[in-house]
Amino acid sequence: MGFEVIWNCLLHENKMTLYIGREASKLWKRICSETTTEINLLLDNWKYLLAGLVFQYIHGLAARGVHYLHRPGPTLQDLGFFLLPELGQDKGYISETLFSCIFLSFLLWTFHPFVFKSKKIYTVLVWCRVLAFLVASQFLRIITFYSTQLPGPNYHCREGSKLARLPKPDSVLEVLIINFPRGVIYGCGDLIFSSHMIFTLVFVLTYQKYGTQRCMKQLAWLVAVVQSLLIVASRKHYTVDVVVAWYTVNLVVFFIDKKLPELPDRTSGNLPILLPLSTKDKESKTKEENQKLLNGNSVDPADWRPRTQVNGKVLEDANGIHVDTAMNGA
């Protein structure tokens, strides 16, 4: 009896080992296949990704530059400051922690096609789209916070703080390196509108369109609202900075999303280019179509029908030949 139990346990363990090995093999094949697909997409769209990443540096450089113009002063009257209790300087990390979770969650979601069977997006194409939204929103943000510099409500931006004013830079290099990450965390003057809300709303809107879990979409919007409240409660932004971000980012995403071609359906297996063809590609395509016309071939594949010449006439198909032959008394 004891031997039979041991034998059944060993047999079950062996089956589990085989199952795990088989599933691991499938997962590895899936990862390799997805990697090949994404590399091909990356080769076609690397310029757009690089441009988007370069603009992230430009945005950081602009935020660093406006810090040199910042002049601390009395905190402006703000409705959010009256309604929301101040978290305090020692609890300012709460909003940053939530934002880090939002960023990391979205990043992991964009890479889920490498692991899961059910997939709706291509990672490269989604990030091309996300960067387009971010660049447009950040461009408007740069124009806005350079137009008017408000006194920062954050603790390190108030009168008496050593970080509220930046001394004149000793060299251009000091400005270009933007003192990352300290210069980004302790920046002042780049208020209208909130950069944290730009990222948050772009991520939420993207998942709203391409995500598959309805409950996660609802949770994402709830988290975005909580993030907004925490930013104001932490006194990192005025309420107007958050409010302007809500309608500006939504409008930017709405209009740019209409201009960009829709992402391909993963079930079809087609890989169209995300952005419009370049002038060079269009010219080569036009030349190819003209050459087909000169050779007597139609550009439209649906019009590729066999043609036969009878009595000096070009007929579309065999049925036409019989009809014409009968009419001519042949």
Q: Is 279 domain-assigned?
A: no
Please say if 237 is a catalytic residue.
Answer: yes
> Is 310 in a helix, a strand, or coil?
strand
| Total structural domains within the chain | 1
pLDDT in tens, 161-194: 888 888 888 788 877 877 666 666 788 999 999 9
Give the distance, in angstroms, between the CA of residue 327 and the centroid of all CA atoms in the same chain: 65
What percent of the chain is predicted at pLDDT more than 70? Answer: 72
Q: Which of 114-128, 164-178, 227-241 has the highest mean pLDDT?
A: 227-241
> What's the pLDDT at 176?
82
Element housing 313 (H / E): strand 313-315
> What's the pLDDT at 96?
92
Q: Is 275 domain-assigned?
A: no
DSSP state of 308: E
DSSP state of 262: P
Decide which of 160 and 243 is more confident.
243
- 234 within 8 A of 95, measured Cβ to Cβ: yes
From 237, 265, 300, 324, active-site residue: 237
Please say if 196 is a catalytic residue.
Answer: yes
Is the pLDDT at 34 greater than 70? The verdict is yes
CA dihedral over 198, 182, 127, 133, signed as positive or negative: positive
Least reliable range by pLDDT among 174-183, 211-220, 316-325:
316-325
**192's tokens:** 């209208």
Q: Is 174 domain-assigned?
A: yes
> Average pLDDT for residues 110-119, to the nearest whole number?
82
Q: Is 313 domain-assigned?
A: no
Element housing 307 (H / E): none
Q: Is 140 domain-assigned?
A: yes
pLDDT in tens, 131-162: 999 999 999 999 999 999 899 999 989 988 88
| Alpha carbons 92 and 79: distance in angstroms, whole number | 20
From 59, 78, 196, 257, active-site residue: 196
| Alpha carbons 295 and 307: distance in angstroms, whole number | 13
> Average pLDDT for residues 211-227, to the nearest whole number?
94
From 241, 265, 317, 324, active-site residue: 241
> What's the pLDDT at 166?
85
pLDDT band for 46, please (50, 70, 90 cuts): very high
Average per-residue pLDDT in the chain? 80
pLDDT in tens, 275-310: 444 445 545 655 665 565 555 554 444 444 444 444
Alpha helices in the chain (DSSP H): 2-69, 79-83, 93-110, 123-147, 172-176, 182-185, 195-210, 214-233, 239-259, 279-294, 318-327
CA dihedral over 130, 132, 135, 137, signed as positive or negative: negative
> What's the pLDDT at 328?
45
* Residue 101 CA neighbour count, 13 Å, CB half: 11
What's the domain range around 226? Answer: 46-259
